[in-house]
Chains A and B, each alone.
Chain A
Amino acid sequence: MLETIPTAFIFFAAGFLALIIANERARGLLLLATPLLALWQVWTLPGGMLTAVNFFGFDLELMRVDRLSRMFGIIFTIAAALGNLYAWQQRDRVQQVAALFYSGSAIGAVFAGDLITLFFYWEGTAIASVFLIWARGTVGAFHTGMRYLIVQIGSGVILIAGVALFYNDTGSIAFDRMTLNSFGTWLIFLSFGIKCAFPLLHNWLQDSYPAATITGTVILSAFTTKLAIYALARGFAGTEILIYIGAAMTLFPIFFAEIENDLRRVLSYSLNNQLGFMVVGIGLGTEVAINGAAAHAFVHILYKGLLFMSVGAVMHRTGTSKATELGGLYRTMPLTAIFCLIGAASISGFPLFSGYIAKSLVLNESASGSYYFIWGVLIFASAGVLSHSGIKIPFFMFFSHDSGKRPAEAPRHMLWAMGLTAALSMYIGFFPNTLYAILPFPIEYQPYTAAKVVGQLLLLSFALLAFGVLMRAGQHPPEIRAINLDTDVVYRKYAPSVIAMCARGVAVIWTKNAAFFTNRYNGIVRGLYHTHGPEGRMAGVWPTGSMVIWLAVLLGVTLVINFVS
């Protein structure tokens, strides 16, 4: 019975239920039970196209279940369950409903078998997720949310334009592999690229994620960008340009992350950098590389969620996520610190942690495909990941200088969510075959060979040593209260300045133009007034003058009537 219901609908039904359930505890339980039920459904579904509906003459496939969609479905439902557990204490109905609709839409999009269904869910994720930003309830969050919404809705509009052109060209709306040979497919590619935070299209991510609520950011970090990764893997696997886009994505955020003060923004840059590894894998397009990208997305959702959770827990207790305000918190938040360190070790790719067993797939494949330069870039970026996510996040939050803050340990439900996420992340690191078994393609890969482990440990240990040397030499950039410009300066500062400058120019021309005609008009009026006004020369002959004119008019009219008749 359950297999005929699209997974997304389970979330939507729960969303509507959450709207009417008044009991807060019952709502919290609903938020936990829904993704678990969905996880069980996704796990047990048979493969194939399961639910089709007719929509204005189009056959929409709501449930395409294959290895790729099932894997993303599994991790999305796990992420929703862990995120909702983390938000257990969150009783704000708006956020609860938004979280259900948002995660439901993302899961719906993953199972979409056609581009029109994909579009609906694509927009669904945009609209539902913005409430997780607005729920912060401040002016800054409102403006950030508006910028986020414009970009996300824009991505959807570009998608549907691309789909229309694609349909016009091919007569098909099937969501399968495409090639970049028409304007339509380029538009679809661009739409995916916006959501995937391609370089120069990326800044909505670092702008909006730090603005969301504490629990909202944890939820946000899991879905939107990984949905885009899924869409690229489904639609554009093997598209070579993705290799170079992905390599650029792994590189530039590491420098921005290193000097950013807001730790949730550091994590957003880090997220961007991690997406790069996945995009490279999709660009390489081989079975191993797609497996690598999918595996990376899977583990990334876990450890990135864990890192956002730990920063969120600190925010929950201290009210800030700025590195300049934090430090030395391990004393009173030791469990959160340990969970954060596990997340940091995972993302850095230390052996026995989940990042290692996923990242090495894409790295290996780039080298075996003779993309040596790309391989070098990815290794460089791996050292960069260690610097901002592996060291900066835990070090400046929990160790480093003592901020004097002595906050209580994170609430129990947050600790449970972090603990479970950390355990899952380590379990996958210890037993990689559990993840390899559900990857899109069958895989035979042994990440734990002596050479691979020692190579990775050497890279990370010597990078750590470099950190130690630079810290002792006082060369590590200090944390300072400041922001850093990124591409958002174009639409937050430059474009408004240009528009304001144009407006001032137009205003000056308009005022001068208007003044010119007003002066002429006033001159004429003054002249007439001068001659015909009460004091004017003509005023003396008004009564006789008028009578003579009207007599002349009457005589003229009489003459014309006589003549005509």
Chain B
Amino acid sequence: MASQTDKDENLPTLGRMMTWVDRPGSANKIFWGLAVFCVVLLAIDFTLEKHEYVKIANTPGFYALFGFVAFTCVIFGARLLRVLIKRDEGYYGDKTIDLEDYPEAGTERINHDA
């Protein structure tokens, strides 16, 4: 069943076009494409004249460095936080939505080929 639904011709046209992202090597292409885009942007940044209120922001590449470092800090900060505050889903007992399934009646759970 799963293999049948996974056949490209069974998918909606738009979904079929988007399966490109899952082809082998596509993730690499996206990553390196992004890297090239970043380098080009950085090069453009060096050519621009800026009038920021915060002087340091006039330095070429400031936002690039800030973005990269900030994102990395968020990820590692979050990982540290998880060590401290992670608990089982049943931590608050059984009268909590975290252990409940969403009621079937409020949904229409159908497969795309149904």
Question: Which positions in A face B, CB cutoff 8 Å?
Answer: 136-141, 143-144, 210-211, 213-214, 254-256, 258-259, 262, 315-321, 328, 330-335, 337-338, 364, 367-368, 370, 372, 375, 379-380, 383-384, 386-387, 399, 402, 404, 406-409, 411, 450-451, 454-468, 470, 472, 475-477, 480-486, 492-493
Contact = CB atoms under 8 A, between A and B. Distances in A.
Contacts, number: 239
Nearest to B44: A454
A407 to B, nearest CB: 6
A131 B12 CA distance: 37
B45 A458 contact: yes
B106 A317 contact: no
Contacts of A408: 110-112, 114
A137 B65 CA distance: 49
17 contacts: A140-B98, A140-B99, A255-B77, A332-B112, A334-B14, A367-B52, A379-B70, A383-B70, A404-B2, A407-B109, A458-B42, A459-B64, A461-B64, A468-B31, A475-B75, A483-B89, A485-B91
Nearest to A402: B22
B98 A466 contact: no
Contact of B81 (A259, A368, A483): A259
A480 B78 CA distance: 13
B4 to A, nearest CB: 10
Residue with the highest number of chain B CB atoms closer than 10 Å, among A331, A451, A459: A331
A255 B91 CA distance: 20
Nearest to B50: A451
Given A213-B106, A331-B19, A379-B70, A364 B53 contact: yes
A-B pairs with the 6 shortest C-beta distances? A258-B78, A367-B53, A383-B70, A332-B112, A140-B97, A334-B14
Nearest to B82: A259
B104 interface: yes
B78 A477 contact: yes
The size bracket of the interface on B is: 35 or more
A137 B97 contact: no
Interface string B58-96: 000111111111111111111101100111110110011
Interface centre among A256, A332, A462, A483 (most CB of B within 10 A): A462
Given A332-B11, A383-B70, A141 B97 contact: yes
A139 B94 CA distance: 9
Given A461-B34, A475-B75, A409 B12 contact: yes
B15 A332 contact: yes
A409 B42 CA distance: 39
A387 B71 contact: yes
Contact of B109 (A254, A318, A457): A318
A136 B64 contact: no
A335 B44 contact: no
Contacts of A466: 67-69, 71-72, 75
A370 B90 CA distance: 47
A461 B61 CA distance: 12
A450 B107 contact: no
Nearest to B92: A492
B49 interface: yes
A319 B89 contact: no
A42 to B, nearest CB: 32
A6 B95 CA distance: 41
B23 interface: no
A453 B78 CA distance: 29
Given A211-B97, A464-B34, A466-B71, A372 B63 contact: no
Contacts of B63: 379, 455-456, 458-459, 462
Nearest to A485: B85
B75 A470 contact: yes
A451 B31 contact: no
